[in-house]
Amino acid sequence: MTCLECSKQLDPSEEKASMEVLGVQLCHAHKKRMARLMESHGTPKEAVQLYYGLKEAGVTAMLEWWDGTKSIDIAISRVKLNIEIDTEYHMLTHEQAINDLEEAMHSFRNGFTTIRIPHVLIKYYLKETVNNILGIMEGLRVHIKAIN
Ligand SMILES: [Zn+2]
């Protein structure tokens, strides 16, 4: 297996360590860099997995993109799509729910679409999740073309 960032050949212990912590194959240097980003932003590892899943499908996305007020888990700027990974569905309070709705409202007003994806979906249905995002991107592209 090779590093998803630099294509360096991974030795078995390197691969095992990266898969355990991130669920994706990264060399020691790139794993360290990713771990630092995750730590400073509280990024769920499913966001990292989805980021690389999208990359594999040819989609350029940004991890922890700063939109001016908050950090977005994954942003696909070309079609103004923001993706947030929900990690604690069972603990969703009404305060959190109204905050999410307000955030979505602000995004829409700025021309961005926000979708929230439960982390378990990425864990069990990564391929399907990526395919659906590709479909959403296609729809957004058509829409953006129509208004410009
Ligand atoms: Zn690397």
**Residuewise pLDDT in 10s, the chain (148 residues):** 899 999 999 999 999 999 998 999 999 999 999 999 999 999 999 999 999 999 999 999 999 999 888 899 999 999 999 999 988 766 778 998 898 889 888 888 888 999 999 999 999 999 999 999 999 999 999 987 777 6
Q: How far is CA 58 from the centre of its chain?
A: 14
124 Cα to the center of ligand 1, angstroms: 25
Co-location of 33 and 59 in the same domain:
no
Co-location of 48 and 35 in the same domain:
no
139 Cα to the center of ligand 1, angstroms: 33
31 Cα to the center of ligand 1, angstroms: 7
pTM score: 0.89
What DSSP string runs through 58-114?
T---EEEEE-SSSEEEEEEGGGTEEEEEES-GGG--HHHHHHHHHHHHHHHHTT-EE
80 Cα to the center of ligand 1, angstroms: 28
Q: How many other CB atoms sit within 10 Å of the CB of residue 85?
A: 20
10 Cα to the center of ligand 1, angstroms: 9
Co-location of 61 and 28 in the same domain:
no
76 Cα to the center of ligand 1, angstroms: 23
Secondary structure element (H or E) that encloses residue 115, with its range: strand 113-118
Residue 148 is predicted with a pLDDT of 65
Residues with CB under 5 A from ligand 1 (ion): 3, 5-6, 8, 27, 30
Co-location of 37 and 52 in the same domain:
no
Co-location of 77 and 30 in the same domain:
no
75 Cα to the center of ligand 1, angstroms: 22
Secondary structure element (H or E) that encloses residue 6, with its range: none
Co-location of 16 and 71 in the same domain:
no
The dihedrals phi and psi of 83, each to the nearest 5 degrees, come to -120, 125
Co-location of 69 and 33 in the same domain:
no
Co-location of 58 and 102 in the same domain:
yes
Please tell me the total count of domains within the chain: 2
- Domain enclosing residue 33, as ranges: 1-41
CATH number at residue 63: 3.40.960.10
Co-location of 136 and 96 in the same domain:
yes
65 Cα to the center of ligand 1, angstroms: 21
Residue 45 is predicted with a pLDDT of 93
Pairing of strands 71-76, 113-118: unpaired
Cα torsion at 127, 133, 139, 140 (round to 10°)? -160
Residue 1 is predicted with a pLDDT of 87
Co-location of 48 and 82 in the same domain:
yes
Residue 70 is predicted with a pLDDT of 86
Co-location of 36 and 96 in the same domain:
no
Co-location of 80 and 94 in the same domain:
yes
